[in-house]
């Protein structure tokens, strides 16, 4: 109850800023890529953004209003762009790929191997191996798709909220507790 609607956008902006700084530090590191300084660092990065996103989108999906919809509409393209900035980052992908290509010689346990493989797949599936022209096209598609998903969710929510079931025959309420029947009859 302490979180106000006006807190979300500055929190998203700060979360994106912090996460981008963490990504840049990992990608720009002069150290040889290791599981710890690349995959672990990446996995632990973006905690503020993750926290803000979880709180906002859980509340947004269950208890939305016009202000929340405006924030979602404003932040969606920013989150899409931020996601692309991570997964289309050539330096970061180079570090992940080098680890992936040498994964059998790194002495990783099963969980570490799985995490490395998952990150590699996420980078590939998000377009990291595309050429620069294809990456720009993908960025535009991702931005458009993010807005379309948001609009779809808003439309579903609006239709759900507008739904009303009209019961014309009081006998159809048989079996419901008395209080529910009276409320439904009103």
What pLDDT is stored for residue 69 in this prediction? 87
CB neighbours of 73 closer than 8 A, spacing ≥ 6? 147, 150
Give residue-wise pLDDT tens across range 19-44: 999 999 999 999 999 999 999 999 99
Residues 6+ apart with CB under 8 A from 161: none
Is 90 exceeded by the pLDDT of residue 99? yes
Please give the pLDDT value at position 143. 87
Position 184 scores a pLDDT of: 67
Supply the mean pLDDT for the chain.
91
pLDDT of residue 135: 95
Higher per-residue confidence, 91 vs 161: 91
Evaluate if residue 79 carries a pLDDT over 90.
Answer: yes
User: Band of the pLDDT at 85, cuts 50, 70, 90?
Assistant: very high
Buried b (16+ CB within 10 A) or exposed e, 1-38: eeeeeeebbebbeebbeebbebbeebbeeeeebebebb
Lowest-pLDDT choice from 51-65, 82-96, 106-120, 130-144: 51-65
**What phi and psi values does residue 28 have, to the nearest 5 degrees?**
-90, 0
pLDDT in tens, 110-148: 999 999 999 999 999 999 999 999 999 999 999 889 889
């Amino acid at each position: 109850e302490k979180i106000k609607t006006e807190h979300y956008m500055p929190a998203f902006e700060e979360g994106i800023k912090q996460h981008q700084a963490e990504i840049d530090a990992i990608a720009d590191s002069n150290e040889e890529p290791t599981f710890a300084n690349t995959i672990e660092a990446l996995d632990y990065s973006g905690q503020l953004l993750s926290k803000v996103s979880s709180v906002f989108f859980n509340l947004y999906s269950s208890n939305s209003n016009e202000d929340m919809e405006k924030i979602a509409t404003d932040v969606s393209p920013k989150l899409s762009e931020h996601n692309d900035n991570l997964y289309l980052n050539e330096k970061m992908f180079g570090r992940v790929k080098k680890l992936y290509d040498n994964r059998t010689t790194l002495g990783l346990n099963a969980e570490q191997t799985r995490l490395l493989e998952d990150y590699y797949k996420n980078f590939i599936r998000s377009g990291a191996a595309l050429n620069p022209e294809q990456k720009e096209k993908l960025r535009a598609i991702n931005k458009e798709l993010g807005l379309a998903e948001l609009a779809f969710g808003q439309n579903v929510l609006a239709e759900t909220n507008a739904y009303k079931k009209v019961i014309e025959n009081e006998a159809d309420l048989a079996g419901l507790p008395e209080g529910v029947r009276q409320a439904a009859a009103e």
